[in-house]
């Protein structure tokens, strides 16, 4: 209920956005966002209190994360500002290994006494659980980096942009939607700044300043007499960028058939809201799809979610090993398949990489939340499964001795664990445009944007909807479709991958609130791809009469 209550409180309507209530920290005035926070010299001193206390209590390893998490959210509907929220959350999380077992505790009392108490608690938890521990923790070695820092390369800090400018932009987008025939529009801007300091007994002191932004909206068009309503979500992507993402640069725009506008690393929210109203109305009278096999041409802002669910999650090593069995599930991509070095995850043009360094992506950081320098690595090369996503206490289980650097905690108060890095499909090496994807399709559907998504707990069977669907007949887009969802099996789907657009079409999709773990934690992650075609996929009709 909590998550839903927040969505209602934010006025975004059922299903428009999913956002856990724990994203709310302490609310503060706008100008307080600009306050510098704790000095790095003091952070080091405080972190050392935790590390020294842990060692004195018998811990064989300890790390401390001092975090200051600043968020600003703006919510509007039609011509009204519903809420402007500034939040700050500050505290320290301490993780230890004692008697071969993890223990964790956190506190917002960042004083010597507060830190000592929390450290004692973490060690006590580790020792209490050690008696039923059967698999002592084994950590992969990591370099001692000394005192280092990293920042998201932003041009405009959202904290320095006046609220009034943000409100005006959202209200302009809302007005554009209403002027073009929308009945309702909700819009929102989410802006995040994680200021996090990491220190460990391995000898690293890492100061990072991470920025993310997500503008989004949901436009509704209603035909009351027909008892129908249709929505069209924003075609933006959440990004690891500053407020410059809102500039709407012409050089970052792409055009598709039927007047479709698409965006790379710069977003024009007013133009997109205009198109959304027009397209939401078109959806009211669009033809209902005939179920059957279709060639699917999938746009990056749609395909990103399919990559996320059918590649990103099944290759998380904690899922493969069973640590997530009780919640998110396990994985079909088992170690025995990987060990053959012949497992055909996809067709031979499918190359999928994990990358924690990609500029503009949500997952980009210099170092992960256990002090490992980030990198890029192959997951699927020429269609073959070659690696997983793993962290320090996991890589020894797959015979490797270097963490992949994808450990993350949503805040100082939660324990860090393995999270999905950015996972992206490499663009095609041959020169193909969107038009090249469509022109040799006899019977197909061009699908854009995220929609309904569901996949089983081992990531075999999935069903995806989308934001917009266009029918392709004999090499041409002939009009809009509705009631479309496709069902497939992960391995079959990726083996039906037939053609991939080149790098000029490459764009990032993002998920701001990916959930995993118990208690559940969120994480933000991007998935890049170019428009890609999958042949002969099963499409169902989701229309019903009640």
24-63 binders of another protein (CB under 8 A): 25-30
Q: Is 253 helix (H, G, I), strand (E, B) or coil?
A: strand
Q: Smaller CB distance to another protein: residue 357 or 541? A: 541
- Near another protein by CB under 8 A: residue from 60, 266, 535, 542: 542
Are 421 and 361 spatial neighbours (Cβ–Cβ below 8 Å)? no
Q: Which is nearer to another protein, 343 or 460 (CB)?
A: 460
Select from 155, 55, 46 the least CA-distant residue to 108: 46
Assess 4 for contact with another protein (CB under 8 A). yes
Nearer to another protein, 427 or 451 (CB): 451
Q: Which of 149/452 has CB closer to another protein?
A: 452
Contacts with another protein in 299-338 (CB under 8 A)?
Answer: 321-327, 329-330, 332
**Gap between the Cα atoms of 307 and 534, Å rounded:** 13
Q: How far is the CB of 135 from another protein (least distance, A)?
A: 5
For the bound state, the minimum distance from the C-beta of residue 124 to another protein, rounded and expressed in Å, comes to 7
Phi, psi (5° rounding) for residue 218? Answer: -135, 115
Work out whether 413 is an interface residue with another protein (CB under 8 A).
yes
Helix (H, G, I), strand (E, B) or coil at 36: coil
Least separation in angstroms between residue 253's CB and another protein is: 30
417 lines the binding site for another protein (CB under 8 A): yes
Query: Hey, which residues between 135 and 164 contact another protein (CB under 8 A)?
Result: 135
Per CB under 8 A, the list member of 172, 344, 433, 489 interacting with another protein is 489
Collapse the DSSP code of 534 into the 3-class scheme (helix H, G, I; strand E, B; otherwise coil) and give the result: strand
Main-chain phi, psi angles of 234, to 5 degrees: -65, 150
List % helix, strand, coil for the chain (3-state, nearest 5).
25, 35, 40
Question: Which of positions 370-399 make contact with another protein (CB under 8 A)?
Answer: none
How far apart (Å, rounded) are the C-alpha atoms in residues 275 and 7? Answer: 25
Site string for another protein, 220-239 (x = CB under 8 A): x-x-xxxxxx-x--------
Contacting another protein within 343-362 (CB under 8 A): none
Is there binding between residue 486 and another protein (CB under 8 A)? no
- Residue 103 near another protein by CB under 8 A: yes
Q: Least separation, in Å, of the C-beta of 5 and another protein?
A: 8
**Residue 465 binds another protein (CB under 8 A):** yes
- Using rule CB under 8 A, residue 485 touches another protein: yes
- 521 near 414, Cβ under 8 Å? yes
Exactly one of 1, 39, 146, 399 binds another protein (CB under 8 A); that residue is 1
What is the end-to-end Cα distance of the chain in Å, rounded?
26
DSSP string, 50-103: HHHHHHHTT-SEEEEEEEEEEEEEEEEETTEEEEEEEEEEEEEEEEEEETTEEE
| DSSP conformational letter for 308 | I
Q: Which stretch binds another protein (CB under 8 A): 45-53, 60-68, 95-103, 356-364?
A: 95-103
Cβ atoms 329, 515 nearer than 8 A:
no
Torsion sign across C-alpha atoms 89, 92, 97, 99: negative
Q: Toward another protein, which CB reaches closer, 464 or 509?
A: 464
Q: Which of 155, 452, 473, 475 binds another protein (CB under 8 A)?
A: 452
Applying CB under 8 A, which part among 117-125, 189-197, 432-440, 525-533 lies near another protein? 117-125
Residues counted in the chain: 546
Q: How far apart are CA 305 and CA 462, in angstroms?
A: 11
């Amino acid at each position: 209920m909590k998550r839903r209550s927040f969505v209602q409180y934010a006025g975004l309507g059922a299903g428009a956005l999913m956002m856990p209530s724990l994203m709310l920290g302490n609310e503060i005035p706008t100008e307080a966002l600009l306050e510098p926070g704790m000095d790095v010299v003091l952070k080091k001193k405080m972190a050392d209190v935790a590390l020294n206390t842990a060692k004195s209590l018998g811990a064989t390893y300890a790390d401390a994360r001092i975090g200051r998490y600043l968020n600003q959210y703006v919510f509007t509907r039609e011509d009204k500002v519903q809420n402007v929220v500034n939040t700050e959350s500050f505290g320290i999380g301490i993780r230890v290994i004692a008697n071969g077992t993890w223990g964790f505790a956190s506190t917002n009392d960042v004083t010597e006494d507060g830190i000592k108490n929390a450290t004692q608690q973490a060690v006590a938890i580790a020792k209490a659980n050690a008696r039923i521990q059967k698999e002592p923790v084994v950590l992969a070695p990591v370099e001692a980096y000394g005192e280092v820092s990293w920042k998201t390369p932003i041009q405009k800090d959202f904290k320095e942009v006046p609220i009034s400018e943000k409100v005006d932009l959202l209200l302009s987008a809302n007005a554009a939607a209403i002027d073009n025939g929308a009945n309702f529009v909700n819009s929102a801007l989410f802006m995040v700044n994680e200021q996090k300091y990491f220190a460990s007994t391995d000898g690293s002191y890492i100061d990072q300043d991470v920025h993310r932004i997500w503008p989004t909206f949901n436009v509704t068009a209603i035909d009351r007499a027909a008892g129908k309503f249709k929505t069209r979500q924003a075609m933006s992507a959440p990004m690891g960028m500053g407020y410059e993402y809102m500039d709407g640069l012409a050089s970052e725009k792409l055009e598709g058939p039927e007047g479709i506008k698409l965006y790379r690393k710069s977003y024009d929210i007013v133009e997109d809201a205009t198109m959304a109203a027009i397209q939401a109305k078109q959806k009211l009278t669009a033809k209902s799809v005939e179920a059957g096999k279709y060639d699917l041409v999938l746009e990056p802002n749609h395909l990103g979610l399919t990559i996320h669910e059918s590649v990103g999650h099944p290759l998380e090593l904690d899922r493969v090993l069973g640590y997530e069995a009780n919640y998110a599930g396990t994985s079909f991509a088992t170690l025995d398949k990987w060990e053959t070095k012949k497992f055909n995850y996809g067709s031979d043009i499918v190359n999928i990489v994990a990358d924690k360094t990609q500029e503009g992506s949500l997952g980009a950081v210099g170092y992960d939340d256990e002090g490992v320098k980030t990198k890029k690595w192959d997951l699927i090369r020429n269609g073959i499964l070659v690696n997983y996503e793993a962290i320090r206490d996991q890589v020894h289980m797959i015979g490797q001795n270097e963490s992949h650097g994808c450990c993350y905690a949503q805040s100082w108060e939660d324990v860090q664990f393995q999270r999905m890095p950015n996972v992206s499909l490499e663009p095609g090496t041959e020169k193909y445009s969107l038009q090249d994807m469509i022109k040799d399709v006899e019977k197909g559907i061009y699908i854009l944007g995220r929609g309904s998504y569901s996949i089983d707990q081992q990531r075999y069977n999935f069903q995806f909807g989308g934001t917009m669907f266009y029918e392709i007949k004999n090499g041409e887009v002939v009009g809009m479709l509705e009631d479309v969802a496709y069902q497939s099996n992960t391995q079959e789907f990726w083996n039906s991958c037939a053609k991939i657009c080149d790098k000029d079409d490459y764009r990032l999709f993002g998920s701001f609130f990916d959930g995993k773990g118990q208690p559940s934690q969120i994480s933000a992650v991007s998935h890049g791809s170019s428009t890609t075609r999958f042949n002969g996929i099963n499409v169902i009709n989701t229309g019903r009469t009640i």
